[in-house]
């Protein structure tokens, strides 16, 4: 890599004003808007980086002293170096090294709505996910095609800047992330234009999801590796799907059982009948026995929700509601009077108290 002073055409003892003046002159000559050639573009990037370093007093001092190797030296080996030697995992002044640009992507959370019928046997759904995907242009390198990151000449690729601090215990070496490369140890001089040097882009993706039977509202399904790709092509995070079961006008759920109310005409409750009704999973045959009372619960085995735990299916529980007609024709009233005369019905009277009679029908299911 060219010397920064040579790149700007100034002496090593040049003043800040001389450095600034030299950069302005070169920038006017090499700026892409003025000189669109590829060679000028590369030189413009070089002199701009050189000016960024030399215009900062702290970075210039570090550069003049040879980067991280220019501090301390054998003569300044003090307590800090001894501490690093015994507790830092290496020789005096060594650091953990540059950090990677690759990081794990974030987890994502999506809410998905399913019908009550979907929960009986499970369902496969295609969902649209707006997420971060690997940049196809740079394939996660963050650099434009044909280029690559260059080693930071401030920290000499270590990602760390060491400083000598004088204390009561002697000269102590401290280390902090390099401000020029932000601790990466290299600089992307020519970032990828597609992803702006991030190694990933926002994209829409269609994902096929298997929703198991027995899911309930609030349940979260984890899909490992289906979240966002990390910076610089890092590994994907996870995708979480939060389930919401859509309300059904007829059926409701209690654990793995399905609950429903069946209205029965008074005559059918008296004489009994058999009827076929449409259930969530097909036709259901319901047998109403003679003398069925309002509030009774009929249980149809294995016609409920398939258990999420693999314990088979729940039951379908039907609460009977006997409907008393409120308007009768003349002929119907005559027949009812004849029935009353034949049965010699008892007058209304007090009976033994029944707690369940006053409970709601749903409560009687539970």
DSSP string across 14-48: --HHHHHHHHHHHHHHH-TTT---HHHHHHHHHHH
What pTM, to 2 d.p., does this model score? 0.62
Query: What does the alpha-carbon distance between residue 298 and residue 253 come to, in Å, rounded to a whole number?
Result: 16
Query: What does the alpha-carbon distance between residue 50 and residue 22 come to, in Å, rounded to a whole number?
Result: 11
pLDDT at 356 over 60: no
- Over residues 123-135, mean pLDDT: 93
pLDDT at 78 over 90: no
Q: Do domains 1-55 and 108-137+196-245 have the same CATH topology?
A: no
pLDDT at 249 over 50: yes
- The pLDDT confidence band at residue 167, using thresholds 50, 70 and 90, is low
| 142 annotated to a ligand binding site | no
- The pLDDT confidence band at residue 91, using thresholds 50, 70 and 90, is very low
Query: What does the alpha-carbon distance between residue 318 and residue 299 come to, in Å, rounded to a whole number?
Result: 6
Q: What is the pLDDT of residue 6?
A: 87
How far, rounded to the nearest angstrom, does the alpha carbon of residue 293 sit from its chain's CA centroid? 52
- If one compares 364 and 242, the residue with the highest pLDDT of the two is 242
Can you give the residue ranges of every domain in the chain? 1-55, 108-137+196-245, 252-365
pLDDT at 106 over 60: yes
Query: Coil, helix or strand for 234?
Result: strand
Q: Which residue has the tokens 């036709």?
A: 283
Q: Which CATH architecture has domain 252-365?
A: Sandwich (2.60)
Question: DSSP alpha helices (H): ranges in 204-280?
Answer: 266-271
- Per CATH, is 1-55 categorized as 1.10.287.110? yes
CB 154 within 8 A of CB 178: yes
Q: Which CATH architecture has domain 108-137+196-245?
A: Sandwich (2.60)
Q: What is the pLDDT of residue 39?
A: 79
Query: Coil, helix or strand for 206?
Result: strand
Q: What is the pLDDT of residue 345?
A: 66
pLDDT at 43 over 50: yes
pLDDT at 338 over 50: yes
Query: Coil, helix or strand for 343?
Result: helix
Least confident of 164-173, 182-191, 201-210: 164-173
- Over residues 180-200, mean pLDDT: 93
Query: What does the alpha-carbon distance between residue 83 and residue 210 come to, in Å, rounded to a whole number?
Result: 56
pLDDT at 2 over 90: no
């Amino acid at each position: 890599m060219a010397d920064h002073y040579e790149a700007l055409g100034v002496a090593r003892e040049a003043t800040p004003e001389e450095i600034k003046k030299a950069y302005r002159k070169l920038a006017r000559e090499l700026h892409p808007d003025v000189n669109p050639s590829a060679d000028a573009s590369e030189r413009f990037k070089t002199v701009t980086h050189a000016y960024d370093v030399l215009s900062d007093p702290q970075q210039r001092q570090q550069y003049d002293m040879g980067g991280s190797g220019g501090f301390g030296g054998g003569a300044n080996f003090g307590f800090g170096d001894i501490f690093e030697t015994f507790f830092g995992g290496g020789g005096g002044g060594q650091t953990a090294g540059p950090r990677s640009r690759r990081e794990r992507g974030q987890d994502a959370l999506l809410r998905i709505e399913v019908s009550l019928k979907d929960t009986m046997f499970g369902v496969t759904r295609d969902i649209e996910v707006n997420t971060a995907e690997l940049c196809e242009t740079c394939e996660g390198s963050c650099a434009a095609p044909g280029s690559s990151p260059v080693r930071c000449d401030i920290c000499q690729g270590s990602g760390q800047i060491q400083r000598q601090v004088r204390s009561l215990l002697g000269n102590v070496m401290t280390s902090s992330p390099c401000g020029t490369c932000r601790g990466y140890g290299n600089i992307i001089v020519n970032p990828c234009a597609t992803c702006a040097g991030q190694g990933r882009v926002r994209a829409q993706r269609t994902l096929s999801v298997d929703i198991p039977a027995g899911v309930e509202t609030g349940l979260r399904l984890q899909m490992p590796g289906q979240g966002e790709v990390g910076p610089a092509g890092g590994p994907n995070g996870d995708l979480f799907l939060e389930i919401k079961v859509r309300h059904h006008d007829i059926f409701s759920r209690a654990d793995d059982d399905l609950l429903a109310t069946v209205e029965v005409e008074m005559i059918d409750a008296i004489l009994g009948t058999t009827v076929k009704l449409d259930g969530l999973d097909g036709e259901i045959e319901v047998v109403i026995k003679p003398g069925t009372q309002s509030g009774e619960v009929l249980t149809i085995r294995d016609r409920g929700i398939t258990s999420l735990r693999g314990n088979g299916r729940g039951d379908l529980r039907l609460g009977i509601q006997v409907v008393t007609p409120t308007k009768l024709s003349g002929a119907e009233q005559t027949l009812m009077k004849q029935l009353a005369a034949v049965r010699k019905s008892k007058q209304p009277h007090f009976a033994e108290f029944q707690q369940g009679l006053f409970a709601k029908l749903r409560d009687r299911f539970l």
